Amino acid sequence: MEIVRTNVKHMISGVMWKTVSEACNLACDYCYYSRCNGRPDNIKRIEDDVLEKFIREYMALKKRVVPFAWQGGEPLLAGIDFFKKVVQLQATYAPNNTVISNSIQTNGTLIDKEWATFFKKYNFLVGVSLDGPEEINDAKRITGSGKGSFKSIMKGIQYLRDANVDFNILTVLHEGNILKAKELMNFYKDESFSYVQFIPCMDFQSQDPSQPGKYLITPQQYGDFLCEAFDIWYNNGVPEISVRFFDNMLAIYLHQQAEACIHQKTCPKNIVFEQNGDAYPCDFFIDEQYKLGNIKHDSLESIINNERMDQFLARKPSLPTQCESCEFLHLCHGGCPRNRISENNEIGVEYFCESFKRVYRYAHERMLELATTIKRCKVTEVKEAGNQLPGRNENCLCGSGKKFKKCCDPLLRSI
């Protein structure tokens, strides 16, 4: 059945499913979500009819580019047959010329040759959680019996490498690695990890979204970490590793948008689904007051149109006064609304404000230099390819909004 697209108030950017609810085969000591202590017995997958209803409605609504994100607990516990069903349903319901993308966030320990071959065949982007070298990782990312997970994760990564699967590394920052930026960055370099992102670890007790978020690291520690990591990332103007925070910052220097939600102007219109079909606008707002419906009995269209989505989306642009006059607003956009909740559930300033300001100031000159080099290369390429350059008084091709003569034209002359 075709759903009438015009009835949808917000077209969503993407969806994320908590594939197996909280089931996980690790018992990381900072995990706020899983309570099975690394011993999942009764694994609940998304039910077949719910999965099919969702994919059918999502394909009918979204069209053309349709992204899916799969998380857990540990999503691989759903089993490979579950994901074979996913790709088969996607193929069944995708209209012609649809681009389907699947990403999955895993602890990596269950990846074997079969999984890696599957990921390659269906072009999954795999995020692997790894907190650094063995000693650092194994202090927190452990099995139910307390054994470190590093060796199993690296084995899983080797299967991904052998099968040529695209993967990235997600490192949770906590008190055990926040003072070790250099060690982490050198480890990624030694392992030739090309794509890395850092996530500050939230205290698991702070999941009530009406209360301020609590973190295991201080804003000062995070700021220092980012500055130290930046020095290594910058690599004398030739970055070798993609670090999400710095890539996002550089994008803004190049007049593009940050792709990480916390540094965009508004929160993206995503839906997060719990394994039972409950729908929420963000992983940080999993709470009854933000519930948008349940895909088992509500249509995707009604979930997207729920007025709570409007209320959620209104949060990010409601900036505290400090942000409104901040010199870094164009880079930061006030951070994440989850981190702006103060004691009395009012809008405060982002918990990591000080960290962001510190790294923005610290990195500015070098970011500017890097962006200038990239722009110079681009404008030179356009010229050398014999393509038409803008007139001196026309808008510059780099997207700055300035006249060409005041922007990239002088870069051509400075070669």
Residue in 323, 341, 367, 379 binding ligand SF4, rule: CB under 6 A: 323
Q: How far is the CB of 399 from ligand SF4 (least distance, A)?
A: 22
Q: How far is the CB of 18 from ligand SF4 (least distance, A)?
A: 15
Alpha-carbon span 24 to 28, nearest angstrom: 10
Instruction: Pick the stretch among 145-153, 218-226, 325-333, 393-401 that binds ligand SF4 (CB under 6 A).
Output: 325-333
Alpha-carbon span 193 to 132, nearest angstrom: 11
How many residues of this chain bind ligand SF4 (CB under 6 A)?
Answer: 23
Q: Which two tokens stand for residue 298?
A: 């509500």
Q: Give whichever of 246 and 404 is closer to ligand SF4, judged by the CB atom.
A: 246
Task: Report which secondary-structure segment, H or E, holds 171.
Answer: strand 167-173
Q: Does 16 bind ligand SF4 (CB under 6 A)?
A: no
Q: Does 326 bind ligand SF4 (CB under 6 A)?
A: yes
Instruction: Pick the stretch among 33-41, 70-78, 92-100, 261-269 that binds ligand SF4 (CB under 6 A).
Output: 261-269
Residue in 14, 67, 223, 334 binding ligand SF4, rule: CB under 6 A: 334
DSSP H helices, 71-218, are: 80-93, 113-121, 134-140, 150-162, 181-190
Report whether 195 contacts 168 (CB < 8 A): yes
Q: Which two tokens stand for residue 230?
A: 């930046």
Nearest one of 142, 140, 245 to 196, comparing CA atoms: 245
Alpha-carbon span 394 to 387, nearest angstrom: 15
Q: Is 283 a catalytic residue?
A: yes
Q: Does 141 bind ligand SF4 (CB under 6 A)?
A: no
Q: Which string of b and e fits 320-331 if b means at least 16 CB within 10 Å? A: beebeebebeeb
Q: How far is the CB of 298 from ligand SF4 (least distance, A)?
A: 21
What is the x/- site pattern for ligand SF4, positions 338-357, by CB under 6 A?
Answer: x----------xx--x--xx
Half-sphere exposure of residue 2, counting CA atoms within 13 Å on the CB side? 5
Instruction: Pick the stretch among 65-73, 195-203, 260-268, 375-383 that binds ligand SF4 (CB under 6 A).
Output: 260-268
Under the rule (CB under 6 A), what is the footprint of ligand SF4?
A: 261-262, 267-268, 282, 284, 316, 322-323, 326, 328-329, 332, 334-338, 349-350, 353, 356-357
